[in-house]
Amino acid sequence: MNPIINATFRDLQDPLNPNNGRSVCDAQSLKTIFDSLRGRPPFLCEFMGDEVRLVVGVGDSGFVQFGAADGEPPYLVAIGSTTGHSGDSAEFLTANTPTPIPRRYCMPMATVCDIVLDCLVRKQPSPQTNWEEI
């Protein structure tokens, strides 16, 4: 079964990305967008659905922040690794500004893609992931 998704992609680093505004309607369209983002310096993007907004870090590794589409709290971030040292962070670009993200929230991009898909389908945080309120 191919779950139906209703979300829009936006690159928060590159306003000229040809995928900006592209609809994500299923797992294949999500994978196509993620595949198109490979090879760039780490950056932020978002997937905006009817009920959810996911801010996603994309790079060699990435992260997922979950929030409501209306911008109201809570804001949750998926916990990727508990092995990162305190103060150890990765930087993701947004509007040419590096944004530090603690490495404990970073995970492989395949995992990021799975979490994004699950959150967009369920319209809530993926239950297969540990989340932390920020």
Instruction: Look at residue 127 in the predicted model and tell me its pLDDT.
Output: 92
Residue 2 lies in a domain: no
Partners of 102 in the β-ladder: 89
Residue 86 has pLDDT above 70, yes or no: no
Q: Residue 60 contacts by C-beta under 8 Å, 6 or more apart in sequence?
A: 42, 109
Q: Which residue has tokens 């198109």? A: 36
Q: Which residue has tokens 């103060």? A: 87
Q: What is the pLDDT of residues 26-84, one digit of tens each?
A: 999 999 999 999 999 999 999 999 899 999 999 999 999 999 999 999 999 999 865 55
Using pLDDT thresholds of 50, 70 and 90, give the confidence band for residue 93: very high
Using pLDDT thresholds of 50, 70 and 90, give the confidence band for residue 85: low
Are 54 and 133 spatial neighbours (Cβ–Cβ below 8 Å)? no
Residue 1 lies in a domain: no
Are 90 and 101 spatial neighbours (Cβ–Cβ below 8 Å)? yes
50: containing domain = 7-133
Tally of domains within the chain: 1
